[in-house]
Amino acid sequence: MMLSSEFVFKVLVVGPREEVKDRFLLSMGPDSYFLECFKSIVGVSLQVNVVNVRGKTVKVQIWDVYDSPPFKSMFHHYSKGAYGALVLLTERVEHEAPKYIEEIHKYCGEIPVLVIIVDEKDPQEIALEYGNSFIDNPVKSLEILAQRIFDREVEPVYLRLSYSVLPPYSQLLNRRRLENLTTIPLNIPIVKEILEAMGFKAKNYEIILKSEKAIYTVDLRNGEVYVEPAQCENCDRDCIKKEKICMVLATSGWSSSPDISQADLLLISKVYAIANNEIPPEVQEKINEILNCPTKNSKKPKRARRQQNRREEIRL
């Protein structure tokens, strides 16, 4: 699905409450589509909105950045090219707004920032108390932000929004308009850049991951994963086992960028799953078979003697 527009603005959405951000973004109305992107794995989900500002059609690419310690190091990557930002906070943590504004300016420069405080009061009460700072729906914030981008007004603006305006998840799930992106060949440069932003170092287009028992090699050129026993690394035998393992998607991946395909997301997910020991059980079974040393029978007597010695020591 392609949405025609005269301008395209990349906008960041940050904040500590994922539930608030999800409800905010999922209530954007009919002129948006939500694109899931394994947020818990790569640290970002994407959404596209179209708004009209002063007779101009503007496509807003929203990058909802996961506010979690494992992904803090990736913020500078996702912030590249941002024209503006939304900071979503609740009343209890609105004092943290300066911290988020400072981080945005650090990586994005002096771009327009809207701080939206989600208030538990009724809309009428908020409107009376805050006047022009009150907005009655999330789309209004995009229109205000796009206008400030056009006018190059970089001074942070604080707005208020009522919780009651945000629909519950149960009403939103059927309103999502998901855009299925056809799988295309791996975009090696962007995959490599994302993985390096996550802290993984690529050498010769390969990511090497080591655990106590295994050495994993992920090939960025074709997405294939190979595993070999760690004990083979210091072994002088010529029976080294290095076999390919198969890891597939459990669900479809989504992205608003034509440069990021399902295959790219799967490759990133593989690296993350291996590094964090979140390999599916059926894949782990295959890995255990590969890690089984073919010469273990020759070592049995020694193991038996060691075990016997330990038993004797226990008896004493």
pLDDT in tens, 54-106: 888 888 888 988 887 767 777 888 888 899 999 999 988 999 999 999 999 99
Rounded CA separation 82/172 (Å): 27
Highest CATH level, class, for 7-175:
alpha beta
Q: Mean pLDDT over residues 122-131, rounded?
A: 92
For the chain, the first-to-last Cα distance in angstroms comes to 76
Whether residue 7 has pLDDT greater than 60: yes
Confidence class of residue 155 from pLDDT cuts 50, 70 and 90?
very high
For tokens 């309103």, the residue is 175
Q: How many CA atoms lie within 13 A of 122 on its CB side?
A: 3
Residue 311 clears pLDDT 90, i.e. is over it: no
Residue-range domain boundaries for the chain:
7-175, 188-300
pLDDT category at 221 given cuts 50, 70, 90 is confident
- What is residue 98's predicted lDDT score, i.e. its pLDDT? 95
SS3 letters across 24-69: HHCCCCCCEEEECCCHHHHCEEEEEEEEEECCEEEEEEEEEECCCH
Angstrom distance (rounded) from CA 273 to CA 278: 5
Highest-confidence segment of 14-23, 138-147, 159-168, 178-187 = 138-147
